[in-house]
Structure 1
Amino acid sequence: MDLTYRTPVAALGDDARAAFLTRTYAHLLGAILLFALIEVFLFTSGLAYPMAQAMLGVSWLLVLGGFVIVSWFASSAAARAESKAAQYGALGAFVLAEAVIFVPLLVMAELSVGGGVIASAAWVTLLGFSALTAIVFFTGKDFSFLGGILKWAFVLALVAIVAGVLFGFNLGTWFSVAMIGLAGAAILYDTSKVLHHYPEDRYVSAALELFASMALMFWYVLRLFMSRD
């Protein structure tokens, strides 16, 4: 169902908006913690290394493409899920999928650069996400105009990845910088969408959409940090 046909939380009272935002960001925090716990389990159990080896057996650009596609479809899943069970199912499935897709990148970072770069990238992502969220909250601006731009930008990113797979060229530092910018625009768009267009019963889906944008930024911040060493 299109979210625009539901009464948005922005049209409700202050108490309803505050409750919605509290639930949304609590679920976002829960998604981040679940992601971290899955990664800790995969690494401490030793499963991460054979998983990374298997996934890196195909083209690394295919892994990048899979990540972009999963991130892209997360937004659609967030908009379609109606019942609470469907919303929680979509959120849990997406967090699990992201945790699996992140495994080869995290293994590469740990082995080639060191675990410290992962923590540094996580902090930079958190600061960037917080700053962009603050812009939306304090300006009150509706960034829905970014929706069409983001769709085209994601299509171009996928075209670049497919071209890299077919013609064997690397997507280097500037691609990571561009994708960080795209992730930042997605955070502005998604946060604005949550504030202005989501109905009050869709806080789980709202958290999923925000988590997808944050994960996208983390992925490319980490890739950028790895490229400097």
Structure 2
Amino acid sequence: MSQGDFQANNPYATFGQIAADAPAAERLAFIKRTYIHLMLAVYALVTLEFIYFGVFGEAMERWMPQLLGSFWILIMFGGFMITGWIAENWAQSEASVNKQYMGLGLYVFAQSIFLAPLLWIANHYVTTIPGMNIEFNPILVAAVLTFFVFAGLTAGVFFSKADFSFLGPILGIASMIVFGVIIASFFFQGLTSGLIFPIALVVLASGYILYDTSNVLHHYRTTQHVAASLALFASVALLFWYILRIVIAFSSRD
């Protein structure tokens, strides 16, 4: 496909210059803005969780046992799918930067609510490194693993400069299948238990990170740093959620 044909078939290029065709300085500035916004979104999420557990810690101890179940898994994954759809549509439209900021802020807040029950569970477990008598909170272990997986996938895309946009339809179909499995788990117990399901979701989240990072390099416009950070944040949050589930499975109650 020629460069002209590529531009004609790229919906991200409809309303402005895409990062791949921008001058080097402008492209670098866009990438920096995207990852700075991603970092700020993660910091905001962590801050909200500290507030929840610091202010409402006693209430959470009373209420959480009644709230836990597949219901939260359904909300979490459903929220991820909706956010991905919104980010994708913003990327192909002239959505204002203010609207993008509102969406990012709303999703960070929603994600903090979705994550709270799993973080509450994790706080009741400890992780011991094999062969060492050292105990860690599963949240810390999951956060470190998430960082290294995300950093490795990001580095792979940046160094290879590969375009993973072909993963879009595949990931979309896989997400619908996963969503169906989660709904079915309400009627057939055991479908999402064990390690196979969370491992599969880690693979799915990793695929989304490849896809989103590739879009940052090749398809987003240089003015879409907020929408790009929103898509990346949704994928990182999904990755952390299921890595934490796996870590908890290998942990013991404190």
Task: State whether TM-score is above 0.5.
Answer: yes
Q: Deviations over 1:159-194 (max 9, x none)?
A: 111111112225121101111011111100000011
1:77 is the counterpart of 2:99: no
Match of 1:143 among 139, 156, 164: 164
If each structure's helix is expressed as a fraction of its own residues, which one has the higher value? Answer: 1
Q: When the two structures are aligned, how many residues end up with a matched partner?
A: 227
Among candidates 50, 54, 74, match of residue 60 of structure 2: 50
**TM-score, with length taken from structure 1:** 0.93
Answer yes or no: is 1:13 the counterpart of 2:23. Answer: yes
Q: Secondary structure at the match of 2:123?
A: helix
Alignment of 1:174-213 (within 5 A): 174-213=196-235
Instruction: Work out whether residues 125 and 138 of structure 2, in 8 Å CA contact, stay in contact via their aligned partners in 1.
Output: no
**CA distance, structure 1, for counterparts of residue 205 and residue 224 of structure 2:** 22
- SS state at 1:30 partner: helix
Larger deviation, residues 69-78 vs 44-53: 44-53
Letter in 2 for 1:121: A
Give the stretch that moved more between structures: 216-225 or 159-168. Answer: 159-168
Whole-angstrom CA distance in 2 between matches of 1:32 and 1:187: 15
Question: Hey, what's the Cα distance between the residues in 2 that align with 1:84 and 1:68?
Answer: 26
1:32 maps to 2:42:
yes
Structure 1 residue 4, shift from structure 2 partner: 4.4
The one-letter code of the counterpart of 1:32 is V
| Cα distance, 1:112 vs structure 2 | 3.4
Gaps of 5+ in 1: none
One-letter code of the match for 2:124?
Answer: L
1:124 is matched with which residue?
145
Pairing of 1:84-95 with structure 2 (within 5 A): 84-95=97-108
Q: Which structure has the bigger radius of gyration? A: 2
What letter is aligned with 2:161? Answer: G
Amino acid in structure 1 at the alignment position of 2:167: L
Partner of 2:124: 111
Contact 1:191 1:210 in 2 (8 A): yes
Q: Which stretch of structure 1 is more off in the superposition, 126-135 or 40-49?
A: 40-49
Q: Deviations over 1:189-225 (max 9, x none)?
A: 0000111110011101100110111001000000000
Distance 1:170 1:26 in 2: 38
- Alpha-carbon distance in structure 1 between the residues aligned to 2:62 and 2:211: 32
**SS in structure 1 at match of 2:222:** coil
Tell me how far apart the structure 2 counterparts of residues 42 and 14 of structure 1 sit (CA, whole Å). Answer: 42
Is this contact kept in 2: 1:59–1:165, CA < 8 A? no
